[in-house]
Amino acid sequence: MTDMPSEDEINARHAEKMKKIKAARDKILATKTVEKGLLIVHTGKGKGKSTAAFGMIFRSLGYGFPVAVVQFVKGSWETGERLALERFGDLVTINRLGEGFTWETQDRARDMAAARQAWETAKSLIRQGDHHIVLLDELNIVLRYDYLPLDEVITFLREEKPHDLHVIITGRNAPDQLIEIADLVTEMEMIKHPFRSGVKAQKGIEF
Amino acid sequence: MTDMPSEDEINARHAEKMKKIKAARDKILATKTVEKGLLIVHTGKGKGKSTAAFGMIFRSLGYGFPVAVVQFVKGSWETGERLALERFGDLVTINRLGEGFTWETQDRARDMAAARQAWETAKSLIRQGDHHIVLLDELNIVLRYDYLPLDEVITFLREEKPHDLHVIITGRNAPDQLIEIADLVTEMEMIKHPFRSGVKAQKGIEF
């Protein structure tokens, strides 16, 4: 039995180890001093890209910060988010300018015009700099279809985003040039999806 | 110039292709008829695990559905979310029962007692079945440290979760057994993080 550490010994070792981790973490944290508005990208085939962006939007609303949302593709989020956002009144600016998914509209010319209109609104909101976060929801989808010139979008974000404004861009297939200029990029990967077992989209979960 | 398709031709081909995609999608969607409460897991080293869960929580609140949150580790989210949740009054049940991160508390015995208390609360909320979603935030962390017996958690979720209740579990290092019984698993992968360029955690973005 002399080989088996007692619960007290395990706890003491744990405390010692955690003290070291804490010291190392504090040392690293002390070097993080820069504050700036981030360019954030949520991409990947998994779920949660727009949902995590809305999580940040609600967190900012909790603090009373104004936020703006430009929706580049209709249908990725709808009623639930909108109803929840409405609770925060004037703090929220929502622009639902995109068309439905391409296979719903089946109209390339209309989709392109809608993308252009959404992008012009996005540019004006970003230039204003009146918000804590501007969310460009599903912009990646529109870029993927070449409905907007990628160079124009990259140049604008790099040169005209105000220093303290956070911009979040969502959608699968984020272009490499966007990832390159972004500060924070997260890829949502699908490991398991209930759709495969015949489960349909459900209120509060999928929409 | 005869080889270059006109804009009209491109648009016509696009419409044709999208019609086919739409038909294929509709056919697949027609087979998705099951409704059930999902066991959802957000894991991985990237950001957005808790944030996307809160996105779903807010979406459900938008519909007026009651939700419950059990926090297994303090510090992963705090003020912003809490203030935003408070706008929805009685629809929200929050239980902040966990202790701080292990390197903050440096006290294994206290962390274990807190984990047990949080789990007992979680079980009682799940059994009640009064909520649309029960979020077990950072449960994976507690399981990773063996602060709760994994078998007990898996058996409970498999046998006692009401059929129509959605349960979301977050935290890196989700155990394989949990992934196995889950319906929807998303891994958040870190592609790029501003921390590396000396940027500190910022209000409304990180907390």
Measured between alpha carbons, how far is residue A24 from residues A20, A69, B30 in Å?
6, 39, 54
What is the three-class DSSP state of A183? coil
Q: Confidence band (pLDDT; 50, 70, 90) for B42?
A: very high
Rounded distance between C-alpha atoms, residue A66 and residue B204, angstroms: 11
Instruction: Tell me the pLDDT of chain B averaged across its residues.
Output: 90
> pLDDT tens digit string along B114-137?
999 999 999 999 999 999 999 999
Contact B202 A40 (CB under 8 A): no
* A79/A146: higher pLDDT: A146
- Percent of chain A exceeding pLDDT 70 equals 96
Mean per-residue pLDDT, A28-42: 87
The angle subtended at Cα B40 by Cα B39 and Cα B42, nearest 5°, is 150
Rounded distance between C-alpha atoms, residue B199 and residue A185, angstroms: 14
> pLDDT tens digit string along B3-28?
788 989 999 999 999 899 888 888 88
The answer, yes or no, to whether residue A2 has pLDDT greater than 80, is no
Contact A48 B10 (CB under 8 A): no
Rounded distance between C-alpha atoms, residue A155 and residue A153, angstroms: 6
β-partners of residue B39 are B167
Q: B159 vs chain A: nearest CA distance in angstroms?
A: 19
pLDDT at res. B62: 94
Mean per-residue pLDDT, A98-111: 82
> pLDDT tens digit string along A161-184?
999 999 999 999 999 999 999 999
Mean per-residue pLDDT, A133-146: 95
Mean per-residue pLDDT, A48-52: 94
Where does chain A have alpha helices with state H? 7-29, 49-62, 79-86, 102-105, 108-128, 139-144, 150-160, 176-181
Asked if residues B191 and A185 have their Cβ atoms less than 8 Å apart, the reply is: yes
pLDDT at res. A192: 85
Q: What is the ipTM of this complex?
A: 0.83
Q: What is the DSSP letter of A95?
A: E
β-partners of residue A136 are A70, A169
pLDDT at res. A24: 87
Please provide the DSSP assignment of A39-78 as one string: EEEEESSSS-HHHHHHHHHHHHHHTT--EEEEEEETTSS-
* Residue numbers in B near A196 (CB within 8 A): none
E runs forming strands in chain B: 39-43, 67-73, 92-99, 133-137, 166-170, 184-192
The identity of residue A89, as a single letter, is G
Q: Which of A92-101, A154-163, A182-191, B195-204 has the lowest mean pLDDT?
A: B195-204
What is the three-class DSSP state of B13? helix
Question: How many other CB atoms sit within 10 Å of the CB of residue A41?
Answer: 29
The answer, yes or no, to whether residue A64 has pLDDT greater than 60, is yes
Instruction: Tell me the pLDDT of chain A averaged across its residues.
Output: 90
Q: What is the DSSP letter of A175?
A: -
- Residue B166's nearest CA partner among B197, B204, B129, B111 is B129
Asked if residues A170 and A135 have their Cβ atoms less than 8 Å apart, the reply is: yes
Q: Which of B32-36, B139-143, B169-173 has the lowest mean pLDDT?
A: B32-36
The answer, yes or no, to whether residue A197 has pLDDT greater than 80, is no
Rounded distance between C-alpha atoms, residue A109 and residue A117, angstroms: 13
The answer, yes or no, to whether residue B153 has pLDDT greater than 90, is yes
pLDDT at res. B1: 53
What region does B44 belong to: left with phi over 0, alpha with psi -120 to 50, or beta?
Answer: left
User: What would the two tokens of residue B146 be?
Assistant: 């063996």
Q: Rounded to the nearest 10 degrees, how much is the dihedral formed by the CA atoms of B172, B77, A54, B143?
A: 20
Cα B141 to its chain centre, rounded Å, is 14
* Residue numbers in B near A204 (CB within 8 A): 56, 59-60, 63, 65, 132-133, 166
Domain limits, chain B? 1-33, 39-197
> What is the fold, at CATH topology level, of the domain defined by A39-197?
Rossmann fold (3.40.50)
Question: How many other CB atoms sit within 10 Å of the CB of residue B120?
Answer: 12
Q: Confidence band (pLDDT; 50, 70, 90) for B188?
A: very high
Contact A194 B38 (CB under 8 A): yes
Rounded distance between C-alpha atoms, residue A133 and residue A65, angstroms: 8
Contact B11 A109 (CB under 8 A): yes
Cα-Cα end-to-end distance for chain A? 57
Contact B80 A60 (CB under 8 A): yes
The answer, yes or no, to whether residue A142 has pLDDT greater than 90, is yes
Question: How many other CB atoms sit within 10 Å of the CB of residue B155?
Answer: 13
Which of A51, A60, A88, A193 is the best mutation test for B, with the most CBs of B within 10 A? A51
Rounded distance between C-alpha atoms, residue A114 and residue A102, angstroms: 12
Cα A27 to its chain centre, rounded Å, is 29
- Dihedral (CA of B38, B69, A77, A175) sign: negative
User: What would the two tokens of residue B149 be?
Assistant: 């017996």
